[in-house]
Amino acid sequence: MERQLDAYCAHLRNERQVSPHTLEAYRRDLNKVLAYCEKQQVTSWKALDIQGLRSLIARLHQAGQSSRSLSRLLSAVRGLYHYLNREGLCDHDPANGLAPPKGERRLPKTLDTDRALQLLDGAVEDDFLAHRDQAILELFYSSGLRLSELTGLNLDQLDLADGLVQVLGKGSKTRVLPVGRKAREALQLWLPLRALANPVDDAVFISQQGRRLGPRAIQVRVKAAGERELGQNLHPHMLRHSFASHMLESSQDLRAVQELLGHSDIKTTQIYTPSGLPAPGNGLRQRPSTGQTHQGRRLMSIKLITFDLDDTLWDNVPVIISAEASMREWLTIHAAKVGDLPLEHFASLRQQVLQRHPELKHRISILRHRVLMHAFEEAGYPQPEATEMADVCFEAFIHARHQLTPFPEAEPMLQALRQHFLLGVITNGNADVQRVGLADYFHFALRAEDIGIAKPDARLFQEALQRGGVDASAAVHVGDHPGDDIAGAQQAGLRAVWFNPSDKGVGKGDKLPDAQIRSLTELPALLRSWQ
């Protein structure tokens, strides 16, 4: 049983990418179930039934476990049995139909606005620790960060000029949050002192020895500030709760607060309403149109959205495989001697062409044509005929390359966005939106092979800004590649939306996107939520 439990925890860590804290909590709860099974001589997960699990829940409740803790334990059991059933190791779930004993609903503890001002508006001594701790308190309250998010914060996630911070939350999901004026001022006073401490990495908050502050150290400093300024216990999550409660009081927009907090389920956010239920109208009122937050002003200025094509508007791998097969088929029929050449020989010819003409690196159509022409010449075709054969063969490839079907949601999404934004294309590929049938949606299309530079080169994005007649602050780029699309766009000053249908984690060294979506249908709603 323990071996299967270890395998499930490895699945949570490696495939589900849950946070270390969540993994530790699940393991702790499931160890209670495992200990109970050993005591009751239940020797396999198959043998644990609903009666046994109900007995364990009753014992834990009698021992003082809260309803919330028991609910989490049942959730952990359901997750374990979902995994075991999927792996063919079980065919039941003993937690199915079980509910924890009802407990008293506990509201999150918060500071009222007067107490929050008392905490943050006092005099700050002009030294390393005081300015660091003030910046920590201000950022917790200004942006509603989790402790783990603030602990893991790096310099490149801060944009003080625009008043934004990008955080990596639960499930490796990123979100961009506004940073208030007071928090920006506190950070601007703290960062020069940080630089004098010889930091060992890019952590925003460090010790006097230059090392990243850990969760426990931050908890201790926050607690000390609460005792000193308020005479009460204070912890980081109380500041997050206060941020959420005060934001909801002022905006009456439950959905907006959900997005700011990074809650996957709006029910989690409903605890901040007086009754725990949505406000009238489902608590999903339109956000006030005053545009008072810096983030609101910035995001409402979006005028241009640029798109990558391959693997963003359609699945490109089967398209290229089909196009290569069509080219090979043409060669087999019309030039068998060339068609019989191994792929390695075409790769060698490509390297030879690039060595002689490095300027063709990003002009992939011309490069492919040159490779074909040299292959025909090697096969004994005279130069004029080799060129003509390369022309026809390349057309067979490029025709098949455009026999593609966009994702079903692509055209409805483009049609909806085109009514409100300028749309453009920035692609490193040789797809032509005219031949694909999408040209009517776009105001311009930039292909690396037409210009001679490729993403992530910032000049390609700057050319798009010039075509659209907008500043970088008014543009968003959408693409699937963390380097070419996300890093390239951000380097040029655009915001970047990562199209990530397989929900991959952010790679080591990759730039964090401003947002990520798993389906193109999410993009219009994302833009609306930003506004």
Q: So where are the chain's domains?
A: 2-86, 113-284, 299-314+406-530, 317-401
The residue annotated as part of the active site, out of 131, 132, 146, 362, is 146
- Tell me the average pLDDT across 233-258: 79
- Any catalytic annotation for residue 68? no
Query: Residue 414 — pLDDT band, cuts 50, 70, 90?
Result: very high
Q: Are 312 and 431 in contact (CB under 8 A)?
A: no
Closest CA to 397 of 342, 450, 321, 340: 321
Q: Which residue has the higher pLDDT, 45 or 508?
A: 45
- Any catalytic annotation for residue 106? no
Q: Which residue has the higher pLDDT, 507 or 3?
A: 3
Q: Residue 439 has what pLDDT?
A: 92
- Any catalytic annotation for residue 11? no
The residue annotated as part of the active site, out of 26, 81, 141, 272, is 272
- Any catalytic annotation for residue 28? no
Residue 519 has pLDDT above 60, yes or no: yes
- Tell me the average pLDDT across 478-482: 95
Alpha carbon distance 286, 254 (integer Å): 10
The residue annotated as part of the active site, out of 61, 170, 303, 328, is 170
Q: Indicate the CATH number of 317-401 among 2.40.50.140, 1.20.120.1600, 1.25.40.10, 1.10.10.10.
A: 1.20.120.1600
- The percent of residues in the chain predicted with pLDDT above 70, rounded, is 90
- Tell me the average pLDDT across 44-63: 86
Specify burial of residue 379 (Cβ count, 10 A radius: 0-12, 13-18, 19+): middle
Q: Residue 201 has what pLDDT?
A: 92
Query: Mean pLDDT for the chain?
Result: 84
Q: Indicate the CATH number of 299-314+406-530 among 3.40.640.10, 1.10.10.60, 3.40.50.1000, 3.40.50.10680.
A: 3.40.50.1000
Question: What token pair was written down for 327?
Answer: 């080219």
Query: Residue 483 — pLDDT band, cuts 50, 70, 90?
Result: very high
The residue annotated as part of the active site, out of 54, 173, 237, 297, is 237
Give the global pTM. Answer: 0.47
Q: Integer distance in angstroms from the first to the last C-alpha of the chain? A: 50
- Supply the CATH classification number for the domain 2-86: 1.10.150.130
Highest mean pLDDT among 31-45, 262-276, 500-514: 31-45
Q: Indicate the CATH number of 113-284 among 1.20.1250.30, 1.10.443.10, 2.60.40.1180, 3.20.20.10.
A: 1.10.443.10
- Any catalytic annotation for residue 237? yes
Question: What token pair was written down for 212?
Answer: 């990243």
- Tell me the average pLDDT across 425-451: 92
Q: Residue 242 has what pLDDT?
A: 87
Alpha carbon distance 262, 281 (integer Å): 22
- Phi, then psi, of 42 in degrees rounded to 5: -90, 115
The residue annotated as part of the active site, out of 72, 240, 241, 369, is 240
Q: Residue 442 has what pLDDT?
A: 94
Q: Residue 290 has what pLDDT?
A: 28
Q: What is the pLDDT of residues 54-111, one digit of tens each?
A: 888 888 887 877 777 888 888 889 889 888 988 888 888 888 877 776 655 556 788 8
- Any catalytic annotation for residue 357? no
Bridge partners (DSSP) of residue 167 are 175
Q: Residue 282 has what pLDDT?
A: 35
The residue annotated as part of the active site, out of 54, 115, 263, 303, is 263
Q: Residue 476 has what pLDDT?
A: 95
Q: Are 168 and 150 in contact (CB under 8 A)?
A: no
Alpha carbon distance 330, 443 (integer Å): 35
- Tell me the average pLDDT across 366-377: 90
Residues 6+ apart with CB under 8 A from 6: none
Q: Residue 339 has what pLDDT?
A: 82
CA distances from 257 to 264, 299, 324, 474, 517 (A): 12, 16, 49, 24, 19
Q: Residue 306: enclosing H or E segment and its boundaries?
A: strand 304-307
